Amino acid sequence: MQAGGPLEPFSYDAGDLSPSEVEIDVAYCGICHSDLSMIDDEWGMSQFPLVGGHEVIGTVAAVGSNVQGLQEGMTVGLGWHSAYCGQCASCREGDQNLCSTAEGTIVARHGGFADKVRADAASIVVIPEGLDLESAGPLFCGGITVFNPLVQFGVKSTDKVAVIGIGGLGHIALQFLNAWGCEVTAFTSSESKRQEALEMGAHKTLNSRDPQEIEAAAGSFDFIISTVNVKLDWNLYLNTLKPKGRLHFVGATLEPLDLGVFSLIMAQRSVSGSPVGSPATIAKMLEFAKQHDIKPRIEVFPMSEINAAFDRLKSGKARYRIVLSNR
Ligand SMILES: [Zn+2]
Ligand SMILES: [Zn+2]
């Protein structure tokens, strides 16, 4: 109801379903750190009352008159975006996630911590038969955020890839990269996560708070994905890249990057970032996850215990993603 406040039951009249929209009966909805940022209005774009939730798994309950390819009863998912303009160059090229006027599921709209949620049909992805539904929600934001860079930058099975931060995003990245065929290294500061990282697909681990250990890994990696939202000594990490290597950011750290340009120039290294993924890439990811039995590790709370679920998220102890259930 207000920035930083507790979550309370809230009803609203969604009006008539527009011709391009779909209504989903929500079965499960993952909690993403962005939900917390929006509830706390950290980014200054929240509108209250705010209904969070953008890792939705559910069943199509109704479709608008112009919707094709989706029917009542189909099992579907919805992520960060709930509508695209469909007309801009990015949309026409299949990069809808880069559409500058794309609508966020929880930005000036009501999201999936609910019985029902609505979105434009173009943003909804059908769940392949056989995918575990309870754990699938986190694939729609956390999962696609770490899967999309593998597609965008053509990560190869012969590449050596490192993941910084083994949490909600990082633990899925380890599984994807291992199945992708890469040699995978996990950077983590948590002793208890080291062993789990190895179980989830890392071949090696390095302590992200031990400068000597990181220095010793100089010139090791083709690609590094950072999922953390805190400031690290990025120059130290840049030097762990091989020539032509890439340091890629998907964790939204608010502090500006402090990077030495010589390390980029001399070894032709790159620094980049990317948001979620297009609906086509989400569909590809779901097939890949099914094929390789990749599942987010989750803790499930009933939707009615959403405040307890957020306390758990804030504690930083969740292993590794929290899912709210209406079932
Ligand atoms: Zn567009
Ligand atoms: Zn998210």
CA–centroid distance, 162 to ligand 1, in Å, is 32
CA–centroid distance, 148 to ligand 1, in Å, is 18
Average pLDDT over residues 285-309: 98
Task: Indicate the residue type of 213.
Answer: E
- Please report which ligand is nearest the Cα atom of 278: 1
Average pLDDT over residues 185-205: 94
Average pLDDT over residues 176-193: 95
pLDDT(253) > 90: no
What pLDDT score does 249 carry?
97
* Ion ligand 1 contact residues with beta carbon within 5 A: 85, 88, 91, 99
Among 63, 62, 59, smallest CA distance to 75 is for 59
What pLDDT score does 190 carry?
86
Q: Could you give the percent of the chain with pLDDT greater than 90?
A: 96
What pLDDT score does 183 carry?
98
What pLDDT score does 184 carry?
98
What pLDDT score does 141 carry?
98
Q: Give the pLDDT confidence of 197-237 residue by residue, as tens digits.
A: 999 999 999 999 899 999 999 999 999 999 998 899 999 99
Taken in order 86, 90, 94, 96, the sign of the CA dihedral is negative
What pLDDT score does 297 carry?
98
Task: Identify any residues that bridge with 302 across adjacent strands, giving them in sequence order.
Answer: 325
Q: Give the pLDDT confidence of 5-53 residue by residue, as tens digits.
A: 999 999 999 999 999 999 999 999 999 999 999 999 999 999 999 999 9
Q: Give the pLDDT confidence of 99-152 residue by residue, as tens digits.
A: 999 999 999 999 999 999 999 999 999 999 999 999 999 999 999 999 999 999
What is the pLDDT confidence band of residue 313, given thresholds at 50, 70 and 90?
Answer: very high
For the chain, the average pLDDT equals 97
What pLDDT score does 39 carry?
97
- Please report which ligand is nearest the Cα atom of 313: 2
What is the pLDDT confidence band of residue 162, given thresholds at 50, 70 and 90?
Answer: very high
CA–centroid distance, 34 to ligand 2, in Å, is 5
Question: Do 160 and 323 contact (CB within 8 A), yes or no?
Answer: no
CA–centroid distance, 86 to ligand 1, in Å, is 5
CA–centroid distance, 95 to ligand 1, in Å, is 8
Q: How far apart are CA 221 and CA 217, in angstroms?
A: 8
CA–centroid distance, 250 to ligand 1, in Å, is 21
Question: Do 309 and 13 contact (CB within 8 A), yes or no?
Answer: no
- Please report which ligand is nearest the Cα atom of 98: 1
Among 21, 308, 288, smallest CA distance to 139 is for 288
What is the pLDDT confidence band of residue 254, given thresholds at 50, 70 and 90?
Answer: confident
- Please report which ligand is nearest the Cα atom of 120: 1
Question: Do 196 and 166 contact (CB within 8 A), yes or no?
Answer: yes
pLDDT(320) > 90: yes
CA distances (Å), 40 to each of 4, 6, 256, in order?
Answer: 4, 10, 21
Average pLDDT over residues 76-95: 98
CA–centroid distance, 87 to ligand 1, in Å, is 5
What is the pLDDT confidence band of residue 294, given thresholds at 50, 70 and 90?
Answer: very high
CA–centroid distance, 54 to ligand 2, in Å, is 6
Taken in order 164, 209, 299, 123, the sign of the CA dihedral is negative
pLDDT(252) > 90: no
CA–centroid distance, 148 to ligand 2, in Å, is 14
- Please report which ligand is nearest the Cα atom of 87: 1
Q: How far apart are CA 188 and CA 196, in angstroms?
A: 11
Q: How far apart are CA 61 and CA 72, in angstroms?
A: 5
Task: Report residue 296 as tokens.
Answer: 């987010």
Alpha helices in the chain (DSSP H): 33-39, 89-92, 142-152, 170-180, 191-199, 211-215, 234-238, 261-266, 279-291, 306-315
Average pLDDT over residues 145-161: 98
pLDDT(191) > 90: no
Among 113, 81, 76, smallest CA distance to 99 is for 81
DSSP state of 86: S
Average pLDDT over residues 54-61: 98
pLDDT(67) > 90: yes
Among 28, 232, 238, smallest CA distance to 134 is for 28
Task: Report residue 140 as tokens.
Answer: 């729609």
Q: Give the pLDDT confidence of 30-39 residue by residue, as tens digits.
A: 999 999 999 9
Phi then psi dihedrals of residue 84, to 5 deg: -125, 160
